[in-house]
């Protein structure tokens, strides 16, 4: 086993000592995770999707000090192959992707777990974990091939109840075949006459959307304490993430309907299994749990890629037990209608912007993919998106919360919480240690319910679910107050000559409500930045910038009088004219790059070496239409005034197009790579954006889902054409409080391998595990992109061996 100790792994200043071991090849695209319980140990199965196999780690499960046949040398080590030199490789068909552990017991109540495998062929495979272990330990035992159960199409996901018994219920969901529907199939998992695990199809029904993930309510392995099970041990409900991202005329995507949230299916009402793939009956009793809210403006469906249901928990000592399944945490898929949803738009009426101000929204990153949404399931009623703080999470009215965005998009989600505390602990007893490397004494927080999300950068982030915010290393360790956004120093490039007044940015002061003499909540900080809205970004405000996409436009040139006409037969300029952030038009200018003579001729002297720094004004723009090429009329100026005789037919020219001093403004505002808009000198520019977190400890009222990100006015000396270079810019950064300024390390509590080995990221499924030996939950996260498996103990972060990555 190769593993990298990740000390102290939390995104802390001090975490430079990551033990970095290059991938050893034991994992190849690890994805699905599942635990199969056995007598003296549990087996953590990892789906190696790249090499069509499972690997298994042995986890000794008896309480510390209790006699066991599972040795310390075996604990957290790979199940060996019979030759002992390599980890066992359990072949399970093409591309195993999702796993579920079935906690079977035999007639003597001895644990005899199995694992169910969903891959890319249209079957479900059943692997008998006891047989696999026996074959590993005893060469006389034959490792039996997995049992195979047909499905109507390739499976998407599989889940199983976590209450042990001689019969365990599992449920798989399969893709929709062409012209058909996705299907849920319920299995009865048992041991056959030979003592090997098998699965029998018992119920099946069809779904009219694209399923992405299944979830059941989890909890203690004690049927007496479970309120999510039917009398026969089957789960009361199975939850299906709706991952429909494209609709059809017949089956459109609608907010509150298809493509929005998850669907709860009553297991008891799924029709009995009939072996007829062509006629699968619809799931009878279902309830949709939309991830959008009627109060969203605009309301847009939110398809989900991953979901998890909260386990039962107790929030306070002596407080009521909150039933399992009360909350649903979902990670969103991106949707096309959020792609490119940025740019200049009308200023929000309730913002007290200056007259004539330019407002632009910077849109939803990555088309909304990888955001986290929390729902009140309200079983038996109408589910709701959790309300925004300070409204209690259990409330059904008020402003809905905006999706939370981790520093990089979320991939998979899970919960941690419990309703039975270990001896000596009082509720709430789900523990998380924060502030490692920051606080002199990192506190261990006692929390009722923790949400977990794996992210594209390979991290696992922690969500303070009931507060609807990410855990924050500074705030929650008491090192610093609430995180507030900030602005770096501003650089002017190039610097002006000595004695020349500076061009500057002026950030507005907080806007004061005359009635209360208090700042308006959305405009209470300098620059109208907002915690949880203003994000980490780099900004450039560029004077007379080259217009994106028009860095080199070419066509034929001619001259009539003082007008030089550039005809662009291969270019449609309509997007540049229409884009509100660009508004190409008269007053913008070009600079010549080169000219080309017709074949067999030479250029006149005026065009052979054109002055490339002369601003040639555009006097007219005809953007082009079918049959009519785009044209720019240019005004000859001193320095670029070629003789009319130069423009023989066939002379071509290539030009660079710049924003000029027009009504749209000579300044272009870039956030990262995106041009947000143009703005005149001395005019206020206000950037708005979607909320990504609720990081403040106290809110007087629910903050809007979309709020100001930053506002400024370009002030001081206005650059002068001919004196100042085009491309002069003011550059600065904003820090939103999710990362430590100047680093890629998170301020929000994260476990991540920051060594080179962990850089590929793309964390996948999360498994929360505990046993008598490990009373505090362990979090396993598959690092699909980095070919690793991360193990962390949230209660002990920062201590030795509290975070490890197996490669």
Partner 1 sequence: MPRSTALLTGLLCACSFPAAPTLLPPPFGPDPGRPEPARFFFPNGIAIDPAGWVVVANANGNREFDAGAAYSLRSADLLQYFPPGTAAGTIPFPAAALAGKAMIGNYTGPLVLAAGTAYSASRDSNRLNAVALDPATGALSCRTGAAVEVGNEDCRAGVIDLSNAARVEGPFGIAVGKVLAPGAAAEVDVAVLVSSLVPRIDQIQSGVAFTSSHLAALDARDPSNVLFDATVTDRLRGGGVGAGSMVYDDLTREVILVGCYTRFGSASAGGEPSTLKCASNSGSNILRFVPVDAGSSAAPRLYELGAQLRATDTPGLALGNLEVVTTPPAAPRRLRTLYVATRTPDTIARIRVPVDDPALAPFADSIVPVGSQPSQVLRLQRPPDRPGTELVAVTAVATYQTSTANGKLILVDGTLGQVVGQVDGLGDTPAQIAQFPPQAGEASARLAITVFGSCRLSLVDVPYDRPNAASIVANLGSCP
Q: For partner 1, how many residues bind (rule: CB under 8 A)?
A: 89
Q: Are 186 and 161 in contact (CB under 8 A)?
A: no
- Region binding partner 1 by CB under 8 A among candidate stretches 49-57, 136-144, 218-226, 227-235: 49-57
Using only C-alpha atoms, the chain has a radius of gyration, in whole angstroms, of 31
Among 555, 660, 680, 704, contact with partner 1 (rule: CB under 8 A): 555
Find the binder of partner 1 among 80, 82, 165, 177 (CB under 8 A). Answer: 177
List the x/- string, 732-751, binding to partner 1 by CB under 8 A. Answer: --------------------
Token pair belonging to 695: 């990081």
Q: How many residues does the chain have?
A: 807
Strand intervals (E) in 2-129: 3-5, 30-37, 41-48, 53-60, 77-78, 90-91, 98-102, 114-118, 123-128
Query: Contact between 582 and partner 1 (CB under 8 A)?
Result: yes
Cβ burial of 735 (10 Å; 0-12, 13-18, 19+) is buried
- Judged by CB under 8 A, which of 181, 310, 332, 457 binds partner 1? 457
Q: Taking CB under 8 A as the rule, does residue 496 contact partner 1?
A: no
> Which residue, 247 or 721, is less far from partner 1 as judged by CB?
247
Say whether residue 68 binds partner 1 (CB under 8 A): no
**Per rule CB under 8 A, is residue 676 in the interface with partner 1?**
yes
Q: Tell me which of 61, 430, 477, 556 binds partner 1, using CB under 8 A.
A: 556
Shortest spacing between CB 631 and partner 1, in angstroms: 14
List of residues 6+ apart from 182 with CB closer than 8 A: 153, 156, 173, 174, 175, 176, 206, 207, 208, 209, 210, 211
Angstrom distance (rounded) from CA 212 to CA 306: 7
In 3-state terms, what secondary structure has residue 307?
strand
Q: Which of residues 512-541 bind partner 1 (CB under 8 A)?
A: none
Per rule CB under 8 A, is residue 675 in the interface with partner 1? yes
Question: Based on the number of CB atoms within 10 Å of its own CB, is 744 exposed (0-12), middle (13-18) or buried (19 or more)?
Answer: middle
Site residues for partner 1, 81-100, by CB under 8 A, read 94-95, 97
Region from 198-206, 363-371, 487-495, 707-715 binding partner 1, contact rule CB under 8 A? 363-371
From the CB of 652, what's the least distance to partner 1, in Å? 2
Which residue in 256, 271, 585, 760 binds partner 1 (CB under 8 A)?
Answer: 760
Within a 10 A sphere around the Cβ of 180, how many other Cβ atoms?
A: 15
**Closer to partner 1 at the Cβ: 393 or 676?**
676
Buried b vs exposed e over 271-287: b needs ≥16 C-beta within 10 Å? eebeeebeebeebeebb
Specify whether the CB–CB gap between 6 and 805 falls below 8 A.
yes
Q: How far is the CB of 569 from partner 1 (least distance, A)?
A: 6
Q: What sign results for the dihedral spanned by CA atoms 361, 761, 158, 166? A: negative
Does position 347 interact with partner 1 (CB under 8 A)? The reply is: no
**Which 634-653 residues touch partner 1, going by CB under 8 A?**
650-653
Sole binder of partner 1 in the list 190, 251, 444, 554 (CB under 8 A): 554
- We find the least distance from the C-beta atom of residue 570 to partner 1, in angstroms, to be 4
Of positions 330, 406, 785, 798, contacts partner 1 by CB under 8 A: 785
Nearer to partner 1, 164 or 455 (CB): 455
Pull the structure tokens for residue 57: 């780690």
Per-residue binding string, partner 1, 134-163, x by CB under 8 A, is -------------------xx---------
**Among 34, 191, 200, CA closest to 111:** 191
CB of 793 to partner 1, least distance (A): 25
Q: What is the DSSP string of 690-712?
A: E------S--SSPPPSEEEEEEE
Mention every residue, 6+ apart, whose C-beta is less than 8 A from residue 191: 104, 106, 112, 166, 197, 198
Binding window for partner 1 (CB under 8 A); candidates: 185-193, 274-282, 754-762, 771-779: 754-762
Q: Is 179 in the site for partner 1 (CB under 8 A)?
A: yes
398 lines the binding site for partner 1 (CB under 8 A): no
> Which range, of 459-467, 523-531, 769-777, 780-788, touches partner 1 by CB under 8 A?
780-788
518 to each of 523, 525, 705, how far by Cα in Å? 10, 12, 21
Which of residues 448 and 764 has its CB atom nearest to partner 1 in the complex?
764
| 687 belongs to the binding site for partner 1 (CB under 8 A) | no
Please report, as residue ranges, which positions from 254 to 293 form the binding site for partner 1 (by CB under 8 A). none
Can you spell out the DSSP letters for 458-479?
S-EEEEEGGGTEE-BTTTTTTS
Shortest CB 578 distance to partner 1, Å? 7
Q: Compute the least distance from the CB of residue 594 to partner 1, in Å.
A: 4
Region near partner 1 per CB under 8 A, out of 29-37, 110-118, 228-236, 791-799? 29-37
d(CA 458, CA 758): 7
> Minimal distance in Å, beta carbon 633 to partner 1?
17
Q: Do residues 33 and 46 make contact, with C-beta atoms less than 8 angstroms apart?
A: yes
Residue 656 lies near partner 1 (rule: CB under 8 A): yes
Among the candidate windows 37-45, 242-250, 615-623, 637-645, which touches partner 1 by CB under 8 A?
242-250
Q: Environment class of residue 789 by beta-carbon count within 10 Å: exposed (0-12), middle (13-18) or buried (19+)? A: buried
Query: Rule CB under 8 A: is residue 52 a binding residue for partner 1?
Result: yes
Scanning 9-17, 174-182, 187-195, 798-806 for contacts with partner 1 by CB under 8 A, the matching segment is: 174-182
State the minimum distance, in angstroms, from the CB of residue 551 to partner 1. Answer: 4
SS3 262: strand
Contact 786, 761 (CB under 8 A): yes
Q: Using CA of residue 369, residue 373, residue 378, residue 381, what is the dihedral sign?
A: negative
- Of residues 314-333, those binding partner 1 (CB under 8 A): 333
Q: What mask of x and - would describe binding to partner 1 in positions 295 to 314, judged by CB under 8 A?
A: -----x--------------
């Amino acid at each position: 086993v190769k593993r990298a100790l990740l000390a102290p792994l939390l995104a802390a200043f001090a975490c430079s000592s990551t033990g970095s071991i290059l991938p050893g090849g034991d994992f190849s695209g690890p994805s699905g995770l599942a635990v199969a319980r056995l007598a003296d140990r549990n087996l953590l199965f990892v789906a190696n999707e790249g090499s069509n196999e499972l690997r298994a780690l042995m986890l000794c499960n008896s309480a510390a000090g209790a006699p066991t046949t599972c040795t310390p040398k075996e604990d957290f080590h790979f199940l060996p192959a019979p030759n002992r030199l390599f980890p066992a490789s359990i072949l399970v068909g093409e591309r195993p992707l999702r796993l579920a552990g079935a906690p079977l017991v035999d007639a003597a109540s001895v644990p005899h777990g199995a694992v169910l495998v969903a891959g890319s062929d249209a079957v479900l495979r059943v692997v008998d974990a006891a047989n696999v272990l026996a074959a590993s330990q005893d060469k006389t035992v034959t490792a039996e091939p997995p049992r195979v159960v047909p499905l109507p199409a390739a499976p998407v996901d599989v889940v199983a109840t976590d209450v042990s018994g001689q019969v365990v219920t599992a449920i798989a969901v399969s893709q929709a075949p062409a012209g058909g529907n996705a299907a849920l199939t319920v299995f009865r998992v048992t041991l056959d006459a030979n003592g090997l695990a098998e699965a029998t199809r018992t119920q099946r029904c069809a779904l009219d959307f694209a399923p992405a993930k299944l979830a059941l309510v989890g909890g203690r392995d004690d049927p007496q304490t479970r309120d999510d099970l039917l009398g026969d041990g089957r789960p009361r409900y199975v939850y299906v993430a709706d991952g429909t991202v494209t609709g059809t005329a017949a089956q459109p995507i609608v907010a509150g309907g298809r493509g929005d949230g998850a669907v709860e299916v009553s297991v008891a009402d799924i029709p009995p299994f009939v072996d007829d793939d062509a006629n699968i009956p619809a799931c009878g009793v279902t309830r949709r749990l939309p991830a959008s809210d009627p109060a969203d403006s605009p309301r847009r469906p939110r398809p989900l890629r991953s979901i998890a249901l909260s386990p039962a928990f107790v929030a306070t000592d002596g407080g009521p037990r909150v039933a399992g399944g009360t909350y649903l945490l979902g990670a969103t898929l991106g949707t096309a209608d959020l792609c490119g949803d940025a740019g200049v738009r009308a200023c929000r009426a309730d913002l007290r912007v200056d007259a004539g101000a330019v407002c632009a929204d910077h849109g939803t990153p990555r088309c909304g993919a990888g955001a986290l949404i929390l729902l009140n399931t309200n079983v038996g009623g109408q589910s709701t998106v959790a309300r925004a703080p300070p409204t209690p999470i259990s409330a059904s009215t008020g402003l809905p919360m905006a999706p939370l965005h981790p520093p990089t998009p979320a991939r998979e989600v899970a919960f941690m919480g419990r309703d039975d505390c270990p001896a000596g602990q009082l509720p709430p007893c789900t523990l998380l240690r924060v502030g490692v490397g920051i606080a002199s004494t990192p506190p261990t927080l006692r929390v009722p319910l923790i949400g977990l999300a794996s992210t594209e950068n390979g991290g696992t982030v922690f969500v303070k679910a009931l507060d609807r915010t990410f855990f924050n290393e500074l705030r929650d360790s008491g090192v610093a107050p609430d995180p507030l956004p900030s602005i770096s120093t501003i650089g002017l490039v190039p610097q002006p000559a000595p004695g020349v007044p500076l061009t500057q940015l002026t950030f507005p002061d907080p806007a004061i409500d005359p009635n209360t003499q208090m700042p308006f909540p959305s405009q209470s900080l300098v620059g109208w930045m907002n915690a949880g809205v203003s994000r980490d970004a780099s900004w450039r405000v560029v004077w007379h910038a080259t217009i994106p996409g028009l860095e080199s436009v070419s066509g034929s040139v001619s001259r009539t009088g003082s007008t030089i006409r550039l005809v662009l037969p291969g270019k449609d300029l309509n997007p540049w004219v229409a884009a509100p952030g660009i508004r190409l038009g008269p007053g913008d200018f070009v600079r010549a790059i080169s000219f080309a003579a017709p074949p067999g001729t030479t250029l006149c002297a005026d065009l052979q070496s054109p002055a490339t720094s002369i601003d040639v004004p555009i006097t007219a723009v005809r953007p082009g239409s079918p049959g009519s090429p785009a044209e720019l009329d240019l005004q000859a100026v001193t320095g670029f005034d070629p003789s009319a005789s130069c423009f023989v037919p066939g002379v071509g020219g290539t030009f660079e197009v710049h924003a000029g001093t027009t009504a749209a403004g000579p300044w272009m505002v870039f956030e990262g790579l995106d041009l947000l808009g143009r703005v005149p000198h001395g005019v206020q520019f206000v950037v708005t954006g979607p909320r990504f977190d609720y990081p403040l400890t106290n809110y007087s009222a629910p903050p809007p889902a979309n709020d100001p990100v930053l506002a400024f006015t370009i002030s001081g000396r206005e650059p002068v054409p001919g004196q100042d270079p085009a491309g002069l810019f003011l550059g600065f950064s904003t820090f939103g409080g999710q990362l430590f300024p100047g680093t890629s390390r998170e301020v929000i509590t994260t476990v991540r391998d920051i060594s080179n080995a962990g850089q590929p990221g793309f964390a996948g499924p999360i498994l929360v595990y505990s046993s008598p030996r490990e009373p505090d939950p362990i979090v396993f996260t598959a690092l699909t992109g980095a070919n690793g498996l991360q193990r962390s103990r949230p209660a002990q972060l920062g201590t030795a061996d509290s975070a490890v990555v197996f490669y």
